[in-house]
Amino acid sequence: MKNILSLQKLSLLMIIMVVLISSCSKKTQTFSLAFYNVENLFDTIDDKHKQDNQYLPDSKIPWNTERYNHKLNNLTKVFNAIDSVELPSVIGLAEVENITVLTDLVNHPDISRANYQILHQESEDERGIDVALLYRPDKYTPVETNYIQLIFPFNPTNGTRDILYSKGLAGSNDTVHIFINHWTSRWGGQEETEPSRRYTAEVLKSYTDSIFNIQPHANIIIAGDLNDNPDDVSLTEDLMAIEPTEPYLDRRLYNLSIKQYKMGDGTLYYRGWDMFDQIIVSSAVLKGQNGVLASSRDQQIIKKDWMLFFPKRGEPRPNRTATSEYFGGYSDHLPVYIKLITQ
């Protein structure tokens, strides 16, 4: 009888061990997303279909091979500084001219180890700049890609950047919906250009609502240069992106840049700091209820001293590549970043 009881205990112990081993084998993985407006990443070749006259060897501020390569060196230095452990899983970009500059970027020896693949399509933007998504195939598997063209009903001939939408698998098999944005700039006046940004926010909201209608707990990540601050109406009323405070409500979007913005921080400096570069996530990402969990309720702003220009008066600000003269810096924007945990 004692032998039977001992065997039963041994069998129970073995079952418990198998369950524990099985649960431990389901390891968590990291998945990270960065966004960076790289400030006019143009090649040196004249494209008759684009406004690239400022970025040619014979331009007023010559844009030559040496300066182009220096720009690539600078950008890859920033990429390596985003995370001290590894390069980001995906990187959203704004202000890239074409597939050529993206290919040169991902093949740069300083980041080639990541084997970044490219999602990009030429848009109708009048300046000839697009958004793009770089992804590490060991971290992200695209399943569906769509380039959402924006046609403003009040100005249908005004070409602008698409919204890049990518649905894919983060880590092993967790589905995420990524939207990369570069909304209409304030060039020409904030009020005058506001309708374009509000319309873009409405279009984006319609897409996220459609996803929520199918999957209320969808993992949605929105990133981009929105050319508006988190408290502007395009974000608060049209996109309805709110500050992350518990309890997190289903089918809602939460803006991970608000806390930093309230503290006076930003990603772009013009007569003071603006928080134009933002990461916004769905409630499921904050609650971790669908396989993906944000490790923080705030986006990170990558702000190293060597990325900044220190004027004689005023605050340090992003060290840009060029304006009316060549500076040889990185970008007029700072990158933003979020790290997530997947199962």
What digits encode the pLDDT tens for the residues 275-320? Answer: 999 999 999 999 999 999 999 999 999 999 999 999 999 899 999 9
Mean pLDDT confidence for 196-206: 98
Mean pLDDT confidence for 183-198: 96
pLDDT at residue 280, as a whole number: 98
pLDDT at residue 3, as a whole number: 52
Write the CATH number for 193.
Answer: 3.60.10.10
- Whether 14 maps to a domain, the answer reads no
- Whether 33 maps to a domain, the answer reads yes
Among candidate residues 255, 144, 265, the one with its CA nearest the CA of residue 201: 255
Domain count of the fold of the chain:
1
- Whether 15 maps to a domain, the answer reads no
Taking CA atoms, 174 is separated from 64, 88, 124, 185, 291, in Å, by 43, 17, 33, 34, 6
pLDDT at residue 6, as a whole number: 52
Mean pLDDT confidence for 113-121: 98
Is pLDDT above 80 for 1?
no
- Whether 103 maps to a domain, the answer reads yes
pLDDT tens for 237-280 read 999 999 999 999 999 999 999 999 999 999 999 999 999 999 99
Q: Is 266 helix (H, G, I), strand (E, B) or coil?
A: coil
- Whether 6 maps to a domain, the answer reads no
- Whether 4 maps to a domain, the answer reads no
Task: Give the strand pairing for 253-255 and 241-242.
Answer: parallel
Is pLDDT above 60 for 18?
no
Query: In terms of pLDDT, which residue wins out, 300 or 26?
Result: 300
Mean pLDDT confidence for 155-168: 96
DSSP symbol at 90: E
pLDDT at residue 5, as a whole number: 44
Mean pLDDT confidence for 48-71: 94
- Whether 328 maps to a domain, the answer reads yes
- Residue 278: domain span: 27-342
C-alpha–C-alpha distance, residues 281 and 297, integer Å:
10
pLDDT at residue 175, as a whole number: 96
- The CA-CA-CA angle for residues 333, 339, 343, to 5°, reads 155
Helix or strand holding residue 68 (H, E): helix 65-82
Work out the mean pLDDT of the chain and round it to a whole number. 92
Confidence band of 343 (pLDDT split at 50, 70, 90):
confident
DSSP strands (E only) in the chain: 29-41, 90-96, 117-120, 130-135, 140-148, 163-170, 174-182, 220-225, 241-242, 253-255, 268-269, 273-274, 277-282, 292-294, 300-301, 308-309, 317-318, 336-342
141's tokens:
């598997």
Is pLDDT above 70 for 25?
no
Mean pLDDT confidence for 213-219: 97
- Whether 50 maps to a domain, the answer reads yes
Query: In terms of pLDDT, which residue wins out, 187 or 172?
Result: 187
Confidence band of 51 (pLDDT split at 50, 70, 90):
confident
